[in-house]
Amino acid sequence: MLCRAPNFFVAVVCSLLPFSPSWAEQNDTELLALIAGMSTEQKVAQMIQAEIKYITPEQVVEFGIGSILNGGGSFPQSNKYATVQDWVELADAFHAASLDRSQGSAGIPIIWGTDAVHGHNNVIGATIFPHNIGLGAANNPQLVADIAAATAREVAATGIDWIFAPTVAIAKDDRWGRTYEAYSDRSDIVGRYAGQVVRAMQQQNIAATAKHFIGDGGTFRGIDQGDTRLSLEQLLLEHGIGYSEAIAADVLTVMASFNSWNGEKLHGSYDLITTILKEGLGFDGFVVSDWNGIGQIPGCSNESCAQAINAGIDMIMVPEDWQPFLTKTLAQIERGEIAMSRIDDAVYRILSVKKQLGLLDGAAPSSRHSAVGSGVIGSAKHRAIARQAVRESLVLLKNSRGLVPLSPDQNILVAGLADDIGVASGGWTISWQGTGNTNADFPGGTSIYTGLAQQVAAAGGSINYSANGDYQNKPDVAIVVFGEQPYAEGQGDIDNLQFDAAAKQGLQTVRKLKAEGIPVVAVFLTGRPLWVNAEINAADAFVAAWLPGTEGEGVADVLLRDAKDQVQYNFRGRLSFDWPNSDVNSENRDLPVDDILFPYGYGLSAGEASDKRLDNLNEEPTVAAAASEVVVFQRGTKAPWRPYVGDASNWRKLYSGGVVATQYGEMTVSSVDIMVQEDGRKLSWQGNGKRESQFYWQADQGMDLTALAEDNAALVVSYQLLREPSSAVTLRMDCSYPCSGALDITAELQMSQEWQNLALPLSCFAQRGVDLSKVNTPMLLSTAGQLELLVRNVAITAQLDGLTVQACQ
Ligand code: BGC
Ligand code: BGC
Quickly count: other Cβ atoms within 10 Å of residue 277's Cβ: 25
Residues ≥6 apart with Cβ < 8 Å to 247: 210, 281, 282, 283
pLDDT-derived band at 700 (thresholds 50, 70, 90) equals confident
Task: Find, among 119, 111, 213, the residue nearest to 162 by Cα.
Answer: 111
Which protein residues touch ligand 2 with a CB less than 6 Å away? 69, 71-72, 115, 164, 211, 290-291, 489, 677
> From the CB of 490, is ligand 1 less than 6 Å away?
no
pLDDT-derived band at 24 (thresholds 50, 70, 90) equals low
**pLDDT of residue 788 exceeding 90:** yes
**pLDDT of residue 254 exceeding 50:** yes
Average pLDDT value for residue range 243-271:
97
d(CA 391, CA 549): 12
Average pLDDT value for residue range 317-328:
98
Q: CA angle at residue 447 from 442 to 452, to 5 degrees?
A: 155
Q: Which helix (H) or strand (E) holds 247?
A: helix 241-248
Residues ≥6 apart with Cβ < 8 Å to 37: 106
d(CA 294, CA 796): 34
d(CA 70, CA 487): 18
Please indicate whether residue 620 is annotated as part of the active site. no
d(CA 785, CA 694): 11
pLDDT-derived band at 753 (thresholds 50, 70, 90) equals confident
Residue nearest to atom 2 of ligand 2 (CA): 290
How far does residue 319's CA lie from ligand 2's centre (Å)? 11
Atom nearest to 51 CA in ligand 1: 9
Q: CA angle at residue 33 from 31 to 35, to 5 degrees?
A: 70
Average pLDDT value for residue range 127-140:
98
d(CA 661, CA 615): 50
**Packing angle between helix 8-16 and helix 241-248, nearest 10 degrees?**
50
SS3 117: coil
Q: Please give the residue that has the higher pLDDT: either 467 or 677.
A: 467
Given this model, what pLDDT does residue 4 score? 47
Atom nearest to 73 CA in ligand 1: 9
Contact 467, 416 (CB under 8 A): yes
**pLDDT of residue 2 exceeding 60:** no
Quickly count: other Cβ atoms within 10 Å of residue 375's Cβ: 10
> From the CB of 662, is ligand 1 less than 6 Å away?
no
How far does residue 431's CA lie from ligand 2's centre (Å)? 13
Best residue among 55, 163, 181, 291 to mutate for probing ligand 1's pocket (most ligand atoms within 8 Å of CB) is 291
Best residue among 114, 164, 219 to mutate for probing ligand 2's pocket (most ligand atoms within 8 Å of CB) is 164
Residue nearest to atom 5 of ligand 2 (CA): 71
Work out the burial of residue 414: count CB atoms within 10 Å of its CB; fewer than 13 is exposed, 13-18 middle, 19 or more buried: buried
Active-site pick, 489, 540, 553, 679 = 489
Q: Write out the DSSP string of 629-659.
A: EEEEEESSBPTT-EEEEEETTEEEEE--SSE
Active-site pick, 233, 284, 290, 419 = 290
Residues in the chain: 809
Residues ≥6 apart with Cβ < 8 Å to 466: 413, 414, 415
> From the CB of 72, is ligand 1 less than 6 Å away?
yes
pLDDT-derived band at 627 (thresholds 50, 70, 90) equals low
Residue nearest to atom 6 of ligand 1 (CA): 677
> From the CB of 677, is ligand 1 less than 6 Å away?
yes
Strand 162-163, strand 659-661: pairing: unpaired
Mean pLDDT rounded to a whole number for the chain: 94
Atom nearest to 677 CA in ligand 2: 7
Residues ≥6 apart with Cβ < 8 Å to 356: 252
pLDDT, one tens digit per residue, over 65-91 is: 999 999 999 999 999 999 999 999 999
Task: Find, among 85, 165, 159, the residue nearest to 359 by Cα.
Answer: 159
Atom nearest to 257 CA in ligand 2: 8
How far does residue 436's CA lie from ligand 1's centre (Å)? 15
Give me the torsion for CA of 408, 413, 415, 421, rounded to 10°. Answer: 40
Contact 604, 396 (CB under 8 A): yes
Given this model, what pLDDT does residue 7 score? 53
How far does residue 434's CA lie from ligand 1's centre (Å)? 12
pLDDT, one tens digit per residue, over 436-472 is: 899 999 999 999 999 999 999 999 999 999 999 999 9
**pLDDT of residue 519 exceeding 70:** yes
How far does residue 602's CA lie from ligand 2's centre (Å)? 32
Please indicate whether residue 41 is annotated as part of the active site. no
Average pLDDT value for residue range 789-803:
92
Helix extents (H) in 305-378: 306-311, 322-334, 340-356, 365-368
Ligand number nearest to the C-alpha of 216 = 2
Q: How far is CA 676 from CA 426, 631, 756, in A?
A: 21, 18, 19
Given this model, what pLDDT does residue 501 score? 78
First and final C-alpha spacing in the chain: 65
Q: What amino acid is encoded at 177 in this protein? A: G
How far does residue 432's CA lie from ligand 1's centre (Å)? 6
Q: Write out the DSSP string of 443-461.
A: TT-B-HHHHHHHHHHHHT-
Strand ordering across the sheet containing 693-698: 650-654, 642-647, 693-698, 777-783, 729-734, 740-744
Best residue among 115, 120, 292 to mutate for probing ligand 2's pocket (most ligand atoms within 8 Å of CB) is 115
**How far is Cα of residue 789 from the mean position of the Cα atoms in its chain?**
27
Contact 117, 167 (CB under 8 A): yes
